[in-house]
C-alpha cells in the first residue's frame, strides 16, 4: 500500500490526544504553562516505549536468524538500533499495569520512571519533567490511557514527530510556550537531508529547536545500514532552556548522542566550530537549520568583525526615533538578520561541507545591502540548489518558503551553475490547513538532484524500485478483490431470492415491484460487467508480473518499455475502481429498497434486513480494501510516468514550471535573484487524462471534514455564549 499510510488519520489522532491533554486544564485547576512540559514527558515515555519494543523485536529476530550472537542483551544493542534501553519501572506498560492496581500512586510512578531514565542516561540528567505530583491521579490516568491506544502503540517516529510539533503549536497558541522559531515539519527536514546527505563527520544546527534535523539525519544514516553514533557527531545551539530539554529528550528517545549548548548564535560560538579567519573553512561537514526569519534587533556593534560574516553586514538601521515605555529603537541594529544566518551557514562549512536550510522567500530576491551579500555568496560558486516550497507546510505560519543548499566541495564542472527547483505545485494535503510531501514526492525531488549531480544510476535505480513496487502491488490485487467478490456473491444470492419474492408478492403495487426489479436488474448487469472486466484485469496484471517481477529492467530503454506495457493496465485499473464503486452503490440501492418492501409479510421472509445490513457493511469494507489495492498498483506506475515524462533520457533537462539549471551569468542578469520561480517559468495546465481524480476527491473530503468539524465547534461555542448571556 501507499507508504503514506503511516500518517493515516493523523489529524483525528492529534485532535483526540490534544483533547485528552487539554482536559487537564478543565479538571485540574492548572494552567497550560504548568502542564505543557509534563505532557511532552508523557509523549516521550510512549515514544521511548515504542522504540524499545521495536528494538526488542529486532534483537530477537537477529538472534534467531544468526545475525547476532545469543548472549545477554546490552544497552549498546538498543542504542545501535536507535532506541534507549528502558529499565522495567520506566516502561509504559509496566507503569499502566501498576496504575491499575493502585491509581493513587500513578503520579509517583511516572515521576520515578523519569528519575530512573535520568540515572541511566547522563545527557538527560535534570532534563526530564518530574512534577507529576501536581496532577490528580485519575486525571493523569485518563491522559496516559489516551496515549496507550493500539494506534499509538503502533505509531512510527514520524507520527511522534508530528505529535510533538502539533502539541508545541497548540501550547504556543495558549501562550504556554513560545515556539516563535518554529518547529520544522519532517517533510521539510527530510528534503534537506536528502539533498545534503549528512552521513559523516560533524553535523551542526545553530538553531536546533527540538532536534528534528539530527533525528532525520540519523534515519538517513540508519537506512544506509550504519550506526549514526559512529558516523556523525551532532552539535547545536538553542537560546531557550525549555527547548533544549525537548531536544535532548528527542535525541535520547532515538538513542542519539548530541551536544546542544544554550547560546544565541548571533553573538556566541560555544562549540568552537567557526572559522579562525574570515573566508577560512569552518569546522562542520554539514550545517542544517530552520532559523528565525526577519529578525531586526541584532546589535551590529557586537558582531562587527565576526569571522562568520565575511561578506559584510546586510544593512544597519538608522533608528526610528521611537521613545516611550516598551518601544524599541532599532538604531544600530542589523536591519534584517536573514543574511546573517545565510553567512553563518556558509562560514561554518569546511572545504567540502554542505549546508541546507529554510529561509524566507523574501530573502532570495531582497535588495540593497542584502543583495550585495547575496551577490558575494553566489560568486563563490558554492550555491548548489534552490528549492521553493508552497505555503502551509508549517503549523504556525502559512507563508511559502525556500530551501537553500550550499556545497563548498562542488566539482569544477558545476561551480558555474545552480539548480533551480520550483516544488510549489508538489504537495500532499494532510489537513485543510497543513500540506506536506508524500514519500514518493520526496524521492522524486531527490532524483532530480541526482541527475544534476550526474548520478544517473541512482535515478534509474529509483525507477526500477517503482516498477518492482508496481509488480508487488499487482500481485496483491487478487487477494484484495476476493473478500469483495465473496460478499458480492452472497448479496447476489440474497437479492435473487428477494426479486423472486417481490415478483410473487400480491400486496405490492406495480410501481413498487418494478422499481425493485429494475434496481436488481441494474445491479446484476453491473455485476456481470465487473466480473468480465475483473477477469481481464487480473490476467493482464499476471502477465505483467510474469514479465517484469523477477528482473525489473535496469536500463532506461527497458524501463520505458515496462512503463508503456503497463499503461493500458493502469487504465483498466482505474475503470475497475469505478466499477467496484458502482456495484457497491447499486447493491446499497437494492438493499434499501428491499428493506422498505419487507414491510410486506410475503417479502419479509426473503429479506432479512439485519443480515442484509451486515452484508452491506462487509461489502463496503471489502470495497475500500479492494479500491486501495487497485489504486496502489496504478499509483506507483504514476511515479514512473512522472519521472520519465519529465526526464525521458534519464538525464537532467529544463522542465517548464519545475526545474532549470542556470549559470552565474544568468543569475547576474536577473539582478542576482535566487528565486526559482524567476527562472523555471510557469508550466501549462496538465491535460485531463493526467488528472488524479482519486487524490482530488480525498482532498475535497479532507477539506469538507475540517469545515464540518469547525462549524460544529463554532455552533457549540455560540450556544454556550447564549446560555451564559441569559438570552
Q: What total of structural domains would you count in the chain?
A: 4
Please tell me whether residues 449 and 479 are part of one structural domain.
no
Please tell me whether residues 46 and 165 are part of one structural domain.
yes
**Cell (9 digits) for 157:** 517516529
Q: Would you say residue 721 has pLDDT above 80?
A: no
Please tell me whether residues 277 and 409 are part of one structural domain.
yes
**Of 115, 149, 173, which closes a domain?**
173
Instruction: In whole angstroms, give the CA distance from residue 242 to residue 177.
Output: 9
Please tell me whether residues 168 and 192 are part of one structural domain.
no
Please tell me whether residues 345 and 437 are part of one structural domain.
yes
CB neighbour list of residue 69: distance below 8 Å, 6 or more residues apart: 63
Please tell me whether residues 416 and 524 are part of one structural domain.
no
Residue 3: pLDDT band with limits 50, 70, 90: very low
**Are 403 and 192 a contacting pair, CB within 8 Å?**
yes
**Of 122, 142, 173, which closes a domain?**
173
Rounded mean pLDDT, 631-635: 95
pLDDT in tens, 511-539: 888 888 899 999 999 999 999 999 999 99
Residue predicted with more confidence, 726 or 176: 726
DSSP H helical segments within 647-676, as ranges?
Answer: 664-669
pLDDT in tens, 95-148: 998 887 665 589 999 999 999 999 999 989 999 999 898 888 888 888 888 888
**Of 620, 651, 682, which closes a domain?**
651
pLDDT in tens, 423-479: 999 999 877 778 889 999 999 999 999 999 999 999 999 999 999 999 999 999 999
Residue predicted with more confidence, 125 or 171: 125
Residue 372: pLDDT band with limits 50, 70, 90: very high
Instruction: In whole angstroms, give the CA distance from residue 31 to residue 22.
Output: 10
Please tell me whether residues 706 and 577 are part of one structural domain.
no
| Residue 235, strand partner residues | 204, 259
| Residue 407, strand partner residues | 354
CB neighbour list of residue 617: distance below 8 Å, 6 or more residues apart: none
Instruction: In whole angstroms, give the CA distance from residue 98 to residue 96.
Output: 5
The range of the structural domain enclosing residue 45 comes to 3-173
Please tell me whether residues 208 and 342 are part of one structural domain.
yes
Q: Would you say residue 689 has pLDDT above 80?
A: no
The pLDDT, as a whole number, for residue 324 is 47
Instruction: In whole angstroms, give the CA distance from residue 422 to residue 401.
Output: 11
Please tell me whether residues 431 and 491 are part of one structural domain.
no
Instruction: In whole angstroms, give the CA distance from residue 57 to residue 50.
Output: 11
Please tell me whether residues 192 and 300 are part of one structural domain.
yes
Residue with cell 508549517: 394
pLDDT in tens, 289-322: 999 988 888 999 999 999 999 999 999 987 655 5
Please tell me whether residues 214 and 348 are part of one structural domain.
yes
Please tell me whether residues 110 and 253 are part of one structural domain.
no
The pTM for the full model equals 0.84
- Give me the CATH number covering residue 380: 3.40.50.150
The pLDDT, as a whole number, for residue 420 is 98
- Give me the CATH number covering residue 168: 1.20.1260.30
**Are 487 and 618 a contacting pair, CB within 8 Å?**
yes
Task: Determine, yes or no, domain membership for 589.
Answer: yes
Judge residue 530's burial from the number of C-beta atoms within 10 Å of its C-beta, 0-12 exposed, 13-18 middle, 19 or more buried: buried
Query: 3-class DSSP state for residue 302?
Result: helix
Instruction: In whole angstroms, give the CA distance from residue 659 to residue 655.
Output: 5
pLDDT in tens, 4-13: 444 556 667 7
Q: Which of 377, 460, 453, 394 is nearest to 674 (CA)?
A: 377
Residues across the chain: 727
**Cell (9 digits) for 75:** 544497552
Task: Determine, yes or no, domain membership for 181.
Answer: no
Q: Would you say residue 329 has pLDDT above 80?
A: no
Instruction: In whole angstroms, give the CA distance from residue 408 to residue 420.
Output: 18
Amino acid at each position: 500500500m501507499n507508504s503514506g499510510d503511516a500518517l493515516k488519520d493523523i489529524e483525528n489522532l492529534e485532535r483526540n490526544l490534544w483533547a485528552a491533554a487539554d482536559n487537564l486544564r478543565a479538571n485540574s485547576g492548572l494552567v497550560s504553562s504548568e502542564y505543557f512540559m509534563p505532557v511532552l514527558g508523557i509523549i516521550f515515555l510512549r515514544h521511548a516505549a515504542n522504540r524499545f519494543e521495536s528494538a526488542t523485536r529486532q534483537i530477537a529476530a537477529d538472534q534467531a536468524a544468526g545475525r547476532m550472537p545469543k548472549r545477554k542483551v546490552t544497552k549498546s544493542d538498543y542504542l545501535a538500533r536507535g532506541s534507549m534501553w528502558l529499565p522495567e519501572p520506566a516502561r509504559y506498560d509496566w507503569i499502566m499495569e501498576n496504575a491499575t492496581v493502585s491509581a493513587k500512586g500513578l503520579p509517583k510512578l511516572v515521576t520515578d520512571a523519569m528519575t530512573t531514565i535520568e540515572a541511566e542516561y547522563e545527557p538527560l540528567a535534570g532534563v526530564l519533567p518530574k512534577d507529576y505530583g501536581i496532577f490528580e491521579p485519575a486525571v493523569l490516568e485518563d491522559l496516559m490511557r489516551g496515549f496507550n491506544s493500539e494506534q499509538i502503540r503502533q505509531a512510527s517516529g514520524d507520527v511522534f514527530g508530528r505529535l510533538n510539533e502539533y502539541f508545541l503549536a497548540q501550547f504556543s497558541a495558549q501562550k504556554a510556550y513560545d515556539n516563535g522559531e518554529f518547529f520544522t515539519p519532517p517533510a521539510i527536514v527530510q528534503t534537506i537531508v536528502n539533498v545534503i546527505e549528512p552521513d559523516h563527520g560533524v553535523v551542526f544546527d545553530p538553531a536546533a529547536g527540538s532536534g528534528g534535523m539530527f533525528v532525520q539525519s540519523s534515519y538517513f544514516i540508519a537506512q544506509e545500514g550504519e550506526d549514526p553514533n559512529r558516523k556523525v557527531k551532532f552539535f547545536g545551539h538553542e537560546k531557550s532552556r525549555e527547548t533544549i530539554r525537548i531536544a535532548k529528550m528527542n535525541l535520547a528517545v532515538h538513542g542519539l548522542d548530541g551536544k546542544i549548548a544554550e547560546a544565541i548564535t548571533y553573538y556566541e560560538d560555544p562549540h568552537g566550530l567557526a572559522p579562525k579567519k574570515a573566508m577560512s573553512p569552518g569546522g562542520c561537514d554539514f550545517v542544517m537549520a530552520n532559523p528565525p526569519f526577519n529578525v531586526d534587533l541584532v546589535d551590529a556593534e557586537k558582531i562587527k568583525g565576526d569571522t562568520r560574516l565575511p561578506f559584510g553586514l546586510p544593512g544597519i538601521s538608522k533608528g526610528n526615533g521611537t521613545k516611550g515605555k516598551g518601544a524599541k529603537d532599532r538604531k544600530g541594529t542589523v536591519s534584517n538578520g536573514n543574511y546573517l544566518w545565510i553567512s553563518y551557514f556558509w562560514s561554518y562549512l569546511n572545504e567540502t561541507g554542505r549546508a541546507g536550510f529554510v529561509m524566507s522567500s523574501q530573502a532570495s530576491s531582497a535588495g540593497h545591502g542584502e543583495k550585495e551579500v547575496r551577490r558575494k555568496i553566489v560568486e563563490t560558486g558554492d550555491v548548489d540548489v534552490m528549492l521553493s516550497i508552497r505555503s502551509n507546510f508549517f503549523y504556525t505560519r502559512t507563508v511559502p518558503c525556500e530551501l537553500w543548499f550550499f556545497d563548498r566541495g562542488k566539482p569544477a564542472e558545476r561551480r558555474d551553475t545552480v539548480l533551480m527547483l520550483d516544488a510549489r505545485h508538489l504537495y500532499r494535503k494532510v489537513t485543510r490547513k497543513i500540506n506536506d510531501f508524500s514519500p514518493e514526492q520526496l524521492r522524486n525531488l531527490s532524483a532530480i538532484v541526482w541527475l544534476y549531480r550526474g548520478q544517473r544510476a541512482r535515478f534509474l535505480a529509483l525507477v526500477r524500485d517503482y516498477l518492482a513496487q508496481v509488480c508487488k502491488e499487482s500481485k496483491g490485487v487478487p487477494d484484495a478483490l476476493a473478500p469483495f467478490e465473496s460478499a458480492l456473491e452472497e448479496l447476489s444470492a440474497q437479492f435473487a431470492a428477494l426479486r423472486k419474492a417481490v415478483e410473487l408478492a400480491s400486496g405490492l403495487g406495480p410501481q413498487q415491484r418494478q422499481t425493485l426489479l429494475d434496481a436488481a436488474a441494474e445491479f446484476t448487469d453491473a455485476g456481470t460487467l465487473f466480473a468480465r472486466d475483473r477477469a481481464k484485469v487480473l490476467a493482464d496484471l499476471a502477465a505483467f508480473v510474469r514479465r517484469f517481477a523477477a528482473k525489473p529492467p535496469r536500463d532506461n530503454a527497458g524501463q520505458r518499455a515496462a512503463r508503456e506495457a503497463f499503461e493500458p493496465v493502469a487504465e483498466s485499473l482505474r475503470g475497475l475502481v469505478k466499477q467496484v464503486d458502482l456495484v457497491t452503490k447499486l447493491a446499497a440501492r437494492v438493499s434499501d429498497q428491499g428493506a422498505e418492501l419487507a414491510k410486506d409479510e410475503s417479502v419479509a421472509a426473503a429479506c432479512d434486513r439485519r443480515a442484509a445490513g451486515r452484508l452491506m457493511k462487509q461489502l463496503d469494507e471489502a470495497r475500500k480494501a479492494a479500491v486501495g489495492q487497485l489504486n496502489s498498483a496504478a499509483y506507483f506506475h504514476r511515479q514512473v510516468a512522472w519521472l520519465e515524462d519529465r526526464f525521458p533520457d534519464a538525464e537532467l533537462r529544463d522542465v517548464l514550471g519545475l526545474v532549470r539549471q542556470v549559470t552565474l551569468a544568468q543569475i547576474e542578469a536577473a539582478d542576482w535573484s535566487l528565486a526559482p520561480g524567476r527562472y523555471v517559468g510557469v508550466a501549462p495546465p496538465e491535460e485531463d487524462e493526467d488528472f488524479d481524480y482519486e487524490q482530488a476527491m480525498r482532498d475535497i473530503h479532507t477539506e469538507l471534514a475540517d469545515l464540518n468539524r469547525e462549524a460544529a465547534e463554532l455552533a457549540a461555542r455560540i450556544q454556550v455564549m447564549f446560555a451564559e448571556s441569559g438570552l
